Amino acid sequence: MTQIFLSLAAILGGLSVAAGAFGSHALREKISERSLEIFDIGARYQMYHALALLVVALLLSRIESPPLILLASGWLFIIGITIFSGSLYALSLSGVKSLGAIAPIGGAALIAGWGALAFAAWSLK
């Protein structure tokens, strides 16, 4: 699982940089300022949580018998990034406002990921 999380952290981090560059260069003249802000929020949160996933992967590589909640944390970050950032990208590019209702589901997964990481840290010996 360490290899999967580490690989996905690197991929999601790189895609976040690409999304940020795409937003600031290719989209600046094509979508509204508000849509650009929404797109940027998606890219920033994707990077923050790619780094969190990297921490989870590094912890998994260092702990002999990692608690299952640590694995749950990694998957929650992946799910949260996909739903939260993905819905913000789709909202900003399509203008379909109902996509904004999906973002809180991803946000809840991200918050749960942080909670699971905290619980995992607390349970370490």
Look at residue 29 in the predicted model and tell me its pLDDT: 85
Look at residue 21 in the predicted model and tell me its pLDDT: 96
Look at residue 28 in the predicted model and tell me its pLDDT: 87
Look at residue 116 in the predicted model and tell me its pLDDT: 98
Look at residue 25 in the predicted model and tell me its pLDDT: 92
Look at residue 125 in the predicted model and tell me its pLDDT: 74
Look at residue 69 in the predicted model and tell me its pLDDT: 96
Low pLDDT (below 70) residues in the chain:
none
Between CA 116 and CA 2 the distance in angstroms is: 17
Look at residue 124 in the predicted model and tell me its pLDDT: 83
Q: What angle do CA 56, 76, 99 make, to 5 degrees?
A: 135
- Going from the C-alpha of 65 to that of each of 16, 42, 125, the distances in angstroms are 31, 34, 10
